[in-house]
């Protein structure tokens, strides 16, 4: 009976979210069409803001629906000053598609709508692919090490994509979301990679460094987001079916070292080493924090069972 109820809940959530997506996609498409028609400059910026506004409303309604139908308990701790007209760089650990919902739930309308880097293949996702393109999300072409060795020119393609995207963001409120691990965490990926962290993959520094260089000191703060699923990360379907019982999200605002806005990551080995060390220290602190949150959650569960 319980499983039947979960299937019904998951189906209802899926239908409601798809319906909401189709509804708001029409509004976003209209704003994108307007953006393509008006000349570059102030009017195109206004059309971009309108498209982002509609997209944020879509995401917030998804969260509203989840809050009313799902049993998920959210523990949100935001230790950062947020403004809807600010410019932020957001870094987060990545475990599941549910991370996006968790981020929208955490930031709401207190910060600009997220722009994040997507794999190029996602442009073909029905309905959403054209929306992401129209919202100026950068589509990244992931190349293997072997492909880059055969054709070194491929190395700079994603950096050039980042540069072009940041040029579009320069005059707009934006929260640039970067899952710096590059993919979702699994224990198998961690072992294959030889990651020095217990709960994280190795962070990829190049795209982050280039974003800082391209955006410059317009970025108000680095928002460091730690997402924890005390019962373990689960699939999107499990979330929709109400099987994700608790989510912890912590946000802290950090000052970005000034030199990282102006250094040359590609050509300056000393700068590259300093940037790698800074990011490694950030990731080590995040790994330790996840460890502490999981330990505390386990202790609380033990106490609840004992009571």
Query: From CA 63, how far away is CA 106, in angstroms rounded?
Result: 10
**Burial state string for 209-225 with b = 16 or more CB within 10 A and e = fewer than 16:** bbbbbbbeeebbbbbbb
Can you give the pLDDT at residue 145? Answer: 59
Start-to-end C-alpha separation, the chain: 27
Query: From CA 163, how far away is CA 165, in angstroms rounded?
Result: 5
CA atoms lying within 13 Å on the CB side of residue 169:
32
**Using the 8-state DSSP alphabet, how is residue 196 labeled?**
S
**pTM for the full predicted model:** 0.89
Can you give the pLDDT at residue 98? Answer: 96
Nearest to 248 by CA among 236, 265, 233: 233
pLDDT in tens, the chain (307 residues): 678 889 999 999 999 999 999 999 999 999 999 988 988 888 888 988 999 999 999 999 999 999 999 999 999 999 998 999 888 999 999 999 999 999 999 999 999 999 887 777 888 888 888 888 888 887 776 655 566 667 766 666 666 777 777 777 878 888 999 999 988 999 999 999 999 999 999 998 888 888 888 777 777 679 999 999 999 999 999 999 999 999 999 999 998 888 888 888 878 899 999 999 999 999 999 999 999 999 988 877 666 666 6
> 């990679």: which residue's tokens?
193
User: Contact, 229 vs 207, CB < 8 A?
Assistant: no
Query: From CA 251, how far away is CA 246, in angstroms rounded?
Result: 17
Bridge partners (DSSP) listed for residue 254:
222
Residue ranges of domains in the chain, CATH in brackets: 71-306 (3.40.1130)
Nearest to 223 by CA among 284, 286, 275: 286
CA atoms lying within 13 Å on the CB side of residue 56:
19
Residues 139, 111, 106: CA angle, nearest 5 degrees:
90
Q: Which two tokens stand for residue 102?
A: 């968790």
Can you give the pLDDT at residue 41? Answer: 82
* Contact partners, residue 37, CB within 8 Å, separation at least 6: none
Q: Which two tokens stand for residue 259?
A: 């030199």
Q: Which two tokens stand for residue 267?
A: 């050509």
Neighbours of 110 (CB within 10 A): 13
Can you give the pLDDT at residue 90? Answer: 94
């Amino acid at each position: 009976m319980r499983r039947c109820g979960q299937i019904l809940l998951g189906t209802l959530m899926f239908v409601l979210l798809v319906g909401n997506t189709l509804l708001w996609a029409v509004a976003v498409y209209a704003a994108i069409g307007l953006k393509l028609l008006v000349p570059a400059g102030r009017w195109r910026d206004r059309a971009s803001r309108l498209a982002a506004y509609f997209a944020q409303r879509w995401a917030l309604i998804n969260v509203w629906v989840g809050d009313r139908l799902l049993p998920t308990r959210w523990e949100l701790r935001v230790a950062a000053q947020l403004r809807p007209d600010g410019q932020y760089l957001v870094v987060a650990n990545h475990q599941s598609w549910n991370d996006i919902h968790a981020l929208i739930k955490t930031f709401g309308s207190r910060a600009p709508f997220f722009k994040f880097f997507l794999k190029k293949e996602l442009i073909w996702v029905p309905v959403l692919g054209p929306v992401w393109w129209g919202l100026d999300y950068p589509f990244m072409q992931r190349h293997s090490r072997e492909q880059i060795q055969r054709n070194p020119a491929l190395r700079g393609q994603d950096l050039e994509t980042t540069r072009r995207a940041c040029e579009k963001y320069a005059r707009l409120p934006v929260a640039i979301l970067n899952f710096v691990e590059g993919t979702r965490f699994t224990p198998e990926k961690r072992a294959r990679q030889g990651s020095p962290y217990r709960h994280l993959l190795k962070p990829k520094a190049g795209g982050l460094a280039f974003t800082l260089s391209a955006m410059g000191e317009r970025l108000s703060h680095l928002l460091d987001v730690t997402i924890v699923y005390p019962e373990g990360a689960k699939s999107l379907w499990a979330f929709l079916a109400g099987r994700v019982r608790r989510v912890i999200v912590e946000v802290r605002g950090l000052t970005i070292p000034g030199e990282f806005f102006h250094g040359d990551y590609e050509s300056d080995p000393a700068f590259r080493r300093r940037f790698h060390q800074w990011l490694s220290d950030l990731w080590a602190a995040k790994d330790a924090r996840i460890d502490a949150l999981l330990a505390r959650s386990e202790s609380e569960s033990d106490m609840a069972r004992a009571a």
